[in-house]
Amino acid sequence: MKLSELFNPNEFAARHLSFGDEAALLAAVGEKSMDDFVGNTVPQSIRMPSELDLPEALTEADALAKLKGIASKNVINKSYIGLGYYPTRVPNVILRNVLENPGWYTAYTPYQAEIAQGRLEALLNFQQVCIDLTGFPVAGASLLDEATAAAEAMAMTHRVGKVKSERFFVDERVYPQTLDVMKTRAKYFGFELVVGDFAQADEGEYFGALFQYVGKDGDVQDLQSVIGRLKAKGTIVAIAADIMSLVLLKPPAELGADIALGNTQRFGVPMGFGGPHAAYFAFKDEFKRSAPGRIIGVSKDASGKPALRMALSTREQHIRREKATSNICTAQALLANLAGMYAVYHGPEGVKRIANRIHALASAFADALVSDGINVVHKVFFDTVTVDFGSKEKADQVFAVALESGYNLRRVNDTQIAAAFHETSVREDLTDLYRAFAGKDTAAFADDVKGRLNTELLRQDDILQHPVFNRYHTEHEMLRYLKKLEDRDLAMNRSMISLGSCTMKLNATAEMLPITWAEFSDIHPYAPEAQTAGYRELLADMENSLKAITGFDAISFQPNSGAQGEYSGMLSIRRYQEANGEGHRNICLIPKSAHGTNPATAAMLGLKVVVVDTDEHGNVNIDDLKAKAEQHRDALSAIMITYPSTHGVYEEGIRDICRIIHENGGQVYMDGANLNAQIGIMQPAEVGADVLHMNLHKTFCIPHGGGGPGMGPIGLKAHLAPFAPGHTLTDTHSASAGQTAVAAAAYGSASILPITWMYLTMMGKQGMKQATRWALLNANYVAKRLGEDYPILYTGKNGRVAHECIVDLRPLKAESGITETDIAKRLMDYGFHAPTVSFPVAGTLMIEPTESESKAELDRFIAALKQIKQEVLKVGRGEWPKEDNPLVNAPHTASDVTGEWAHPYSREEAVFPLPFVREHKFWPSVKRVDEVYGDRNLVCSCLPIDAYED
């Protein structure tokens, strides 16, 4: 034997892909080799001219070792920087059983409610926490971060308010990153931001106002009187409130506000260099149909049993396309689950103990400084003590001593330093910090501490009284509660999820392990640059890889969702055109087949959407595109185009499309939702795109987390790179000076980037190219096999599809009355999540098998849809009544088959329709959910616990 042959650096690719299936799959689609198959599927005109310039693959062990070396270059100091980010403790039972559990992190957004009841209950718990702490009756199921939540609040106050003004007031005490993002959004909404003293907010005419509670430098102010004066003038008021402080402070609703928002990071979510973190968003009941994001609501199922689902789902702003005021289509569901479970585990007494301890430590520290004659700036504060030393030299000295002792503080200005206490602060920290601030040791701090919050600022009501927050405080009980919820969900640890355009592929364990390493999770986003060398190296590595893959000159990692990536890409185009005296360009061409987020994004940037027709094959109608580009030549800003098309086809004319836009003065934005069909085959920049967003939670293996987190970095050509998002507190090393931000942290949800780094490193040059080829092969295999029973709506060259295919159910529906929804629900009885339903064409299923599914799994899925076809035909022939058959009654629960049975089909046909189903049966916990009832009777808070129990 040869020793060299016993080492296999490409071993991971063979675990991500199923190489043993290649011959059978190729034979099924009528090809002899993979090269022949790709040649007959991908137009030669788009093929990249050179090989993919990536390093060779590393094994899982070698990749983890290399990443550990990079991570070790980060310095973990004790963080007292604050500004909305604080060290916290993730309870171990939640860490292991939620954050590190594929049953939670590989699930999809809960659009199919019947197989998402566990996550939906967890998100309802999160909403209840937000309702309790803010005092409002309605809260959403999370937004991306506090800064974007504030920007969404600004937009919402404008659309619900009645004051005829375009001016919005911002408290000068808001976090600087929040103001930075608000400036970006306000410009293209046409709003004027007025930043000033909170107490003087009522001196002007404003459609809305935002106050910070607690202020960025730690002060707690009584906002009630100024809010009252603003309300008398008709201004809609939002409060950005620290979630931990609200455990002790009067709730925003009691202060008279209309909206409350903030970050829930302090509830057991690591800092992670800035994210991902779930923002909360709570508001008055009358605003519920104007709110951004998602709301989880209580409804009932077909048997009358309580059941949860996403309420008012068609109200999601981006679905309104160009009439939208927000393009939100993802949230931070996984992180919201962590925060909600933190409250469940600790309960009301536990979170009060944590909040009181934080406040007591800060108060004791301030008392010791004051007793030494040191100037503590604010008498009333929650956790942040700001000290004015009177001179820059003294402040420099204190900062340096603290840094040398392992503490990161915040420089407020030349003479002031702030120390923000937090959940992991201990008594020893008081001594160390006092030594740095006072320049000497001190006697032990008194055990009896008088708080710094005035009685009139404290809340008087009880919080977290629902039973869910009062019964799972032992680890055994918590473990079993989490397992119970997990078992109600169908995630990728059970079966494939074939959602078209959503790319639900393997999230390998080796990719996931590093996100909980302290070297990545315990870093503050505003830590000194010298302490973040590991993160900088990680970002540089990924930038080089993504540039090689896409052909772009620069990468911005700030966008923390796909929708944010869209916004950032189009924002860069707008800024570039303005800098070149072409700010008047305000026409955006968007094909009819585009994602709803595309026109929503364009509208948010002040662009007028002009829709381009598609032809009978689903491609962009080149003649219509050319006519409209020439018609709007003088005002053309850009085109937003998805490639391969939303219809799952490689359009032969993509180079012509880009050329036509450029010849008429516009820029090309490419939506990267379908990048999984491009890597190693084509480069977006090379075919003519100027900017592209990349969904790392799709193509690059960051898991969907039940509806988030996501990452949407953008690739830019050199002329657009200076106009990428910047950041007020962090040098992004890409954007030119003065470019405002789109997200709270400079590098978005940085702590999940190691997932993509591991994927790229373990796959290497050959693996990444093979992944694309297998994505195409699997999709064409599915299309070929299903095409025997269903029409495949669109195909491209040689009758091929790209990485996804659209199955047309409309002929069956016309013959039988069985709808696409019936088929989607029936798939649950077979143990599968439905593909994408009725997008981009009503009455269809869009199927994307991805490259990481084996032939055996594909065959099970195909068998399910073939058997469902036979069931539909039985209904069409009258063998089963249209009003009583396995499809319209789907899904079937365990209680269905153990009770009385009066259906014209057997119990066996209902729940074990094929032999493989019996081997690994997934039982939906509820029958079909009544969406209409839930929207007419909106309840978005937790029901009494016995309502969930049989």
pLDDT attached to residue 6: 83
- pLDDT, one tens digit per residue, over 801-857 is 999 999 999 999 999 999 999 999 999 999 999 999 998 899 999 999 999 999 999
**How confident is the model at residue 702, as a pLDDT?**
97
**Contact assessment for residue 103 and residue 490, using Cβ atoms and an 8 Å cutoff:** no
* pLDDT grade for 325, boundaries at 50, 70 and 90: low
437 Cβ contact partners less than 8 Å away, ≥ 6 residues apart: 369, 374, 387, 398, 402, 417, 419
Mean pLDDT within 880-897: 97
pLDDT band at 619 (very low <50, low <70, confident <90, very high): confident
pTM for this structure?
0.97
Q: CA 62, 705, 103, 750: dihedral to nearest 10 degrees?
A: 30
Confidence of residue 5 (pLDDT cuts 50, 70, 90): confident
Which residue type sits at 280?
A: Y
Cα(815)–Cα(632) distance, integer angstroms: 45
| Residue where the block lists tokens 């993160």 | 535
451: pLDDT strictly greater than 70? yes
Give the C-alpha separation, 672 to 644, whole Å: 9
Can you tell me whether residue 279 is helix, strand or coil? strand
Q: Which residues pair with 143 in a beta bridge?
A: 279
Residue 464's pLDDT band, with cuts at 50, 70 and 90, is very high
Mean pLDDT of 714-741: 92
Do residues 809 and 792 touch, judged by C-beta distance below 8 A?
Answer: no
pLDDT band at 949 (very low <50, low <70, confident <90, very high): low
Parallel, antiparallel, or unpaired for β 587-591 and 636-642?
Answer: parallel
Q: Amino acid identity of 466?
A: H
Average pLDDT, the chain: 95
Torsion from C-alpha of 882, 884, 887, 888, nearest 10 degrees: 80
For residue range 163-181, list pLDDT tens digits in order.
Answer: 999 999 999 999 999 999 9
Residue 204, exposed/middle/buried by CB under 10 A (0-12, 13-18, 19+)?
middle
Asked whether 516 and 752 are in contact (CB, 8 A), the reply is no
DSSP for 736-762 reads PTTPPPSSSSTTSSGGGHHHHHHHHHH
The answer, yes or no, to whether residue 950 has pLDDT greater than 50, is no
Dihedral, CA of residue 61, residue 66, residue 67 and residue 68, to nearest 10: 90
Pick from 669, 623, 617: which is nearest to 648 by CA? 617
Q: Would you say residue 354 has pLDDT above 50?
A: yes
Which residue, 152, 175, 153, is CA-closest to 84?
175
Q: What does the pLDDT average to over 642-649?
A: 91
- Measure the CA angle with vertex 610, ends 606 and 611; round to 5°: 135
Q: What is the DSSP letter of 316?
A: -
The pLDDT of residue 946 is above 90:
no
8-state DSSP, 926? S
Q: Residue 156's CB: how many other CB atoms inside 10 A?
A: 25
| Amino acid 341: pLDDT | 98
Is the pLDDT score of 320 beyond 80? no
732 versus 724: the higher-pLDDT residue is 724
Rounded CA separation 538/529 (Å)? 14
Instruction: Specify the 3-state DSSP secondary structure of 636.
Output: strand
Secondary structure of 105-172 as H, E, C letters? HCCCCCCCHHHEHHHHHHHHHHHHHHHHHHCCCEECCCECCHHHHHHHHHHHHHHHCCCCCCEEEEEC
Tokens of 146: 């506090």
Residue 773: pLDDT band by 50, 70, 90 thresholds?
very high
